[in-house]
Structure 1
Amino acid sequence: MSDELSVGTDPAEVGMDAGRLARLDARLARYVDDGQLPGFLVTVARHGKLVHVGRGGFRNLEERLPVEPGTRWRIFSMTKPVTSVAAMMLYEEGAFQLTDPIAKWLPEFAETRVYLAGSALKPVTTPQVEPIRVWHLLSHTSGLTYGFHHAHPVDAMYRALGHEWGTPPGADSAEVCRQWASVPLVFQPGSEWNYGVSTDVLGRLVEVLSGQPLDEFFASRIFAPLGMRDTSFGLREGDDVESLARLYAATPGQPGGAATGYAPLDAMGQAAHAKPAFLSGGGGLVSTAGDYLRFLEMLRRGGSYDGGRLLGPRTLAHMVSNHIPGGADLETFGRPLFAETPLRGVGFGLGFSMIIDAARYGVVSSVGDYSWGGAASTAFYVDPVEDLTVSFYTQLLPSSTLPIRNYLRSLANQAIVA
């Protein structure tokens, strides 16, 4: 696969129908035409062969800059699988066991209390019964949360410290971890699933265990072996600012006409124009579709791509297995949060969600298909049954605005004919 995303394989050679793949572009183009999406890029690869690249609309609508193969995207939470892979690389080197308490290396979390009752201003707390362990961070069962959820008094406590869609200016990963550790956990570690800053804390753990800043670990241990030359924490010196797509926020209920259905979100978007003080393992990377496809192909191939082996196949298989106790799905074990896709029929492993019941999930898909996405509506999934990788890029907050991830599955799967 080239960095230019050139399609060199006839879809029919890998059992896919080109005419049916065009339906994927048509559905996404309607979102653009209806004023609900500024632009998009989508890739489909099967058996390691890139068979479809679709793109439309603009990376910057106001300046009429089109989406191009080399467009850079803020991938937000699609950073999380990269951080999870980094941690498991250290696991394979014997740096820790998954059951180790994180306070062994991050002592600030040793005495973190657990919310019991009360308000954000006067919470009633209790001590941890179970310490936060490394696998709790990887599986989002740590009790940590996000300030932007607006669903729990602890979320409000995060916001009061400056943690909503960002972190306090100038604070690095060590400092933000100290701040999160000073706030109660939403629940006892291991007792529930809640999407939060767990992977950011995991990124800090990678730094402490490796003795390297997270950007240096990523660059030398992941990006260089995979040939990912255009992925970094924010733009680097010499990068073309115009190559970075503009960030937009949805304005629901106003599609089409004079109101476009979204508006530029430059105050937040400009944070990616340079390397930040906080290297967010949960959401700090910018990347290109070609670069991230190399990462996805590494996953699909069991931990190796283009001569660079990051993980052993057994480790990766463990990561993409459901780690929710009792084999439960997220709707049963998790907390009710906004989500672009249903939580029913979906499990969670070490850095990825996966479909454990396709009928309950409600979308044509394969059991074992694993995935994640980002806040600006980017998404990917890897289907081991069909040997398929699909990725999608745009820059529209929040990711719950449009049901794009469901369309990716239904329209890619209907194009498989052999």
Structure 2
Amino acid sequence: MSIETEAAPAEVGLSAARLARVDSWRDALVDSGRLAGATTLVMRRGRVAHLGCSGMADMARGVPMRADTIHRIYSMTKPLTSVAAMMLYEEGRFQLDDPVTRFLPEFSGMRVFAGGSRGSFETVPAVRNITVRDLLTHTAGLTYGMMHANMVDAMYRDQDVDFQTSDRTLAEVVATAATLPLLAQPGAEWNYSIATDVLGHLVAVLSGQDFGAFMAERILAPLGMADTGFHVPPERLSRLAANYRRGGDGRPALIDDPQDSSFARPRRIASGGGGLLSTVGDYVRFCRFLLNRGELEGTRLLGRKTVELMMSNHLRGDMAAMGQPRFSESTFEGIGFGLGFSVMLDPARAQIIGTPGECAWGGAASTAFWVDPVEELAVILLTQLMPSSTYPLRRELRVLCYQAIID
């Protein structure tokens, strides 16, 4: 689904001259060779006031970046998976404090890593069961094998607990994860993790439907997100961007050719933590849905109070108070976490311009979004550069967008 601007910046309280700084910033990233291409979108008061594209979606083939370019959004999948779970919550299928063992018995009798070496390590019993809220907030004690920070991460790699590359089923990978020790006691720490993939499996179990099918039928189709899915069909493959990393010369180096990509064919696992591809036109529809508190163009998937609950901080303080100095798609100071995305608590402590209550997340290929209910603002950045920590794109874009508000 393509998209066009719907309002002049001044009509929605933005300065056109100041908003033009976003274009200059994006063009400079491409002209300097840091990014192959990028797209930015700013929506305020329900109308798109800025949409810009720079550079190439596929450098080798000379395909320009366009508004209908399809991107790997990776962890920007997580908020949609969380919406899927909360739809079932509204149907009375579970309560947030329910132990997941009620539905996923494989997580019974969990133990927590307590030290030792790869060949000989110690564990202690978990003091309580993982709850559904723990999965939604990344406080379940789970981790990611990609962290490369401790013994538990290594066990994930050894046992192929990877929802992107494994050729096993979603249920099989979750079952393996449940045999491994937790990184921390449930509820004790915020650790970025496979929790949202486990949540996707929970959605499948509770609904009795394949998770990918549930997402397509219950969320993507009703929201009109026609170009969003877990793989790119052949007729749309020409619109899939290439994925890059920063090469030795500082310029983009290809890591995933769109024509040969694993995303170009159906995948064994529909990863709720990071499997979706999307366009800026599709994802802004999801942003509208959030800002409208669960409704889009007459279609309501969630009640207003449920979305407000999701956008509330569910941690004891900010992520710095509960988190560990490990990778995240967000900074830790002044930032809390709701049910599926980060929540701004204190812009001064976060040392970045923003608004308390603003919700955000990003993906591994440097994509990002945030929605600000107070300012009635949504911003999307789509590009394809891994890892997302290569450049401070999100913080830079945040300043450029907020400084353009004049009303």
* C-alpha distance in structure 1 between counterparts of 2:195 and 2:113, whole Å: 17
Give the aligned residue type for 1:286: L
Matched residue SS, 1:407: helix
Tell me the equivalent position of 1:243: 239
Residue 206 of structure 1 corresponds to: 203
Q: Do 2:137 and 2:340's aligned partners in 1 also have CA atoms closer than 8 Å? A: yes
Provide closer, same or farther for how the CA distance between residues 165 and 57 of structure 1 changes in structure 2, counting only shifts above 3 A.
farther
Structure 1 CA distance for aligned equivalents of residues 207 and 162 of structure 2: 28
Does residue 227 of structure 1 match 2:227? no
For residues 230-257 of structure 1, give each alpha carbon's deviation from its aligned partner in whole angstroms, at most 9, with x where no partner exists: 1111113x432221100112236x32xx
* Distance in 1 (alpha carbons) for counterparts of 2:118 and 2:296: 47
Give the C-alpha shift of residue 316 in structure 1.
0.6
State how far apart, in whole Å, the 1-side matches of 2:329 and 2:185 are. Answer: 27
Is structure 2 residue 19 aligned with structure 1 residue 28?
no
- Does 2:363 match 1:402? no
1:301 alignment partner in structure 2: 292
Q: Which whole-Å CA distance do the structure 2 matches of 1:220 and 1:298 have between them?
A: 16
Residue number in structure 2 paired with 1:68: 66
Compute the displacement of 1:346 (Å): 0.4
Q: Which runs of 5+ in 1 are unaligned?
A: none
The reply to whether residue 265 of structure 1 matches residue 263 of structure 2 is: no
Q: How far off its partner does 1:216 sit?
A: 1.2
Seen in structure 2, the aligned counterparts of structure 1 residues 295 and 201 have a Cα distance that, compared at 3 Å, is: same
The aligned counterpart of 1:168 is: 166
Residues 415, 225 of structure 1: alpha-carbon distance in 2 compared, 3 angstrom cutoff: same
What's the C-alpha RMSD, in Å, of the aligned pairs? 1.5
The Cα offsets for residues 301-329 of structure 1, whole Å up to 9 and x where unpaired, read as 1000111101111111111111112xx11
Equivalenced residue count is: 406
Q: Deviations over 1:219-278 (max 9, x none)?
A: 111112111111111113x432221100112236x32xxxx2x31112898121112101
SS in 1 for 2:115: strand
Change (3 A) 1:71 1:214: same
Structure 1 match to 2:113: 115
Displacement after TM superposition at 1:112 (Å) = 2.5
Task: Identify the match of residue 176 of structure 2 among 179, 202, 205.
Answer: 179
TM-score, reference length from structure 2: 0.97
In structure 2, do the counterparts of structure 1 residues 168 and 225 end up closer, same or farther at CA, with 3 Å as the change threshold? closer
For the Cα contact (< 8 Å) 2:163–2:173, is it kept in 1?
no
Distance 1:388 1:289 in 2: 15
Q: Which runs of 5+ in 2 are unaligned?
A: none
| Displacement of 1:340 | 5.8
Q: CA deviation at 1:337?
A: 1.4
- State the distance in 2 between where 1:403 and 1:51 align: 24
| 2:193 alignment counterpart | 196
Residue aligning to 1:371: 360
Whole-angstrom CA distance in 2 between matches of 1:73 and 1:225: 21
Question: What letter matches 2:243 in structure 1?
Answer: L
Deviation string 1:167-186 (CA, Å, 9 cap, x unpaired) is 422x1110010111111100
Q: Tell me the amino acid that sits aligned with residue 205 of structure 2.
A: V
Seen in structure 2, the aligned counterparts of structure 1 residues 76 and 340 have a Cα distance that, compared at 3 Å, is closer
Give the whole-Å Cα distance in 2 for the aligned partners of 1:145 and 1:361.
Answer: 24
Where does residue 152 of structure 1 map in the other structure?
150
Match of 2:141 in 1: 143
Identity across matched positions, percent: 48
Contact 1:341–1:403 (8 Å) recurs in 2: no
Q: Secondary structure at the match of 1:365?
A: coil
